[in-house]
Amino acid sequence: MGSENKIVIQEMKTRIDHIEKLALELKKLGREIPAVEKNSRNILSAVYNLKFGISDIAEIDAA
């Protein structure tokens, strides 16, 4: 993989981590508000797929 791609993947990983952190915070803030809790859960499910497809590659590249 070219170095340009590695940089893009690392950048994407940083943003995926950021979205995850924000979604977890939102879920906590919205506790007992189903509209917030459930939509946060949905965001986290998408994050899970992004971690599988992108962050994992960044991690083995960094290792």
Partner 1 sequence: MPDMKVNYWNRYLETLPREKIQQLQLKNFRRILQYAKDNTIFYNRHYKDFDTDDIRTMDDVRRLPLVDKEDLRIAQDNKEPFPFGEMLGVTPEEVCTFRQTSGTTGKPVYVPESYESWQWRVEIWCHILWMAGFRETDRLFIPFGYNVYVAFWEGHFAAEKLGCMVVPGGALDTKGRINKILEVRATGLLNTPTYGIHMAETANKMGLDPRKIGIKRMVCAGEPLPQATRLILEEMWAAEVYDHIGGTEPCAWGAMCGQRKGLHIMEPHFLVEILDMETKSRAVDQGELGVAVVTPLGRRSFPMIRFNTKDVVRRGKDGCECKRTSMMIEEVAGRMDHLRKIRGVLFTPVSVEELLRAEFPEIGEFEIIVKRKGVMDEISLKLEIRREMGDQIQQELLIRLSERLKIKTNLRFHLIPVKLGELPRYSLKAKRFKDLR
Query: 4, 23, 13: which is closest to 63 by C-alpha?
Result: 13
Tell me the closest approach of the beta carbon of residue 18 to partner 1, in angstroms. Answer: 19
Tell me the closest approach of the beta carbon of residue 29 to partner 1, in angstroms. Answer: 20
CA 10, CA 15: separation in Å to the nearest integer? 9
When the beta carbons of 21 and 42 are compared against partner 1, the nearer one is: 42
Residue 7 structure tokens? 């940089």
> Which DSSP symbol is given to 31?
T
Which chain residues interact with partner 1 by CB under 8 A?
Answer: 1, 5, 9, 41-42, 44-46, 48-49, 52-54, 56-57, 59-60
